[in-house]
Amino acid sequence: MKIERVGVVGAGQMGNGIAHVFALAGYEVLMTDVSEDALQAAVSLIGRNLDRQVAKEVITEETKAGAMARIGTTAALKDLGQTDLIIEAATERETIKTAIFEDLVPHLKPDTILTSNTSSISITRLASRTDRPEKFMGFHFMNPVPVMQLVELIRGIATDEPTFKACHDVVDRLGKTAATAEDFPAFIVNRILMPMINEAIYTLYEGVGSVKSIDTSLKLGANHPMGPLELADFIGLDTCLAIMNVLHDGLADTKYRPCPLLTKYVEAGWLGRKTKRGFYDYRGDEPVPTR
């Protein structure tokens, strides 16, 4: 399976990062989104992020120009049908992802590989809604994509060996490291990370520590680069809640029940950095704890 043309569904935080690294690695990239404004914003952001890499002498101006020239955009999902590999990076909601794959299927080449950047949803279940479960995989990048080294590769129950090898070869060409995970709720990274974040929120909810003391404790006491509440805001509290619900529903274990305080923040629309308020308020010059 020779992969040269890649389709990216979704121009948000993950989608634009995925387009960035693929274009930089020499792939032709076609990115789609329901919003034309989001597509334009994504291309502008990729340009600024590449400029940052030029300034740090990680890449040259010529390399940046080549990468930008390889990125195309379209508002029509069907236009991705002629690509060799499609990576879905839409909102972490199964109904949305399923609808995207069902809309894509009639337009695909017979050998196009379908993948999802989902951080927790069953790959086997998503694959079953397509015409090619054997050519379907989880392709989970970490955020921010241009910086983070890891990619989780998740095989569904039907994923065949050529598909797995083709995706593994892509990760190698991107200069990243693949970790193979089985198709169980939240895979490896989020199966471990999200309960830790949820427990930090319980620690806040129960009054054991303040936002600042919890984050400081984990940064200085466990040598974490970011505190768990700061990290939750960075990821998005809605995404954290969605993953905890997948763990709770999929594994039927009460240890994965989402903290009521996390639910309350999401209900308030305080989703973290992307809405300027979460466990910290980002509307001023410096983030200020909200509790």
Active-site annotation, residues: 119, 140, 152, 190
Q: At what angle do helices 260-268 and 189-205 cross, to 10 degrees?
A: 90
Largest Cα separation within the chain, whole Å, is 56
Distance of alpha carbon 7 from the chain centroid: 15
Q: Which residues of 110-144 are buried (b: 16+ CB within 10 A; e: fewer)?
A: eebbbbbbbbbbbbbebbebbebbbbbbbbbbbbe
Backbone phi, then psi, for 184, in 5-degree steps? -125, 155
Cα gap 134→90, rounded to integer Å: 22
Instruction: Give the gyration radius of the chain's Cα atoms.
Output: 19
- CB-based contacts of 43-46 (< 8 A; 24+ apart in sequence): 43/16, 43/68, 43/71, 43/73, 45/16, 46/16, 46/19, 46/20, 46/71
Cα gap 8→14, rounded to integer Å: 10
| Whether the Cβ atoms of residue 194 and residue 231 lie closer than 8 Å to each other | no
Cβ count near 60 (within 10 Å): 11
Backbone phi, then psi, for 140, in 5-degree steps? -100, 105
Residue 64 CB-half CA count within 13 A:
19
**Token pair 């903290």 in the structure block, residue:** 259
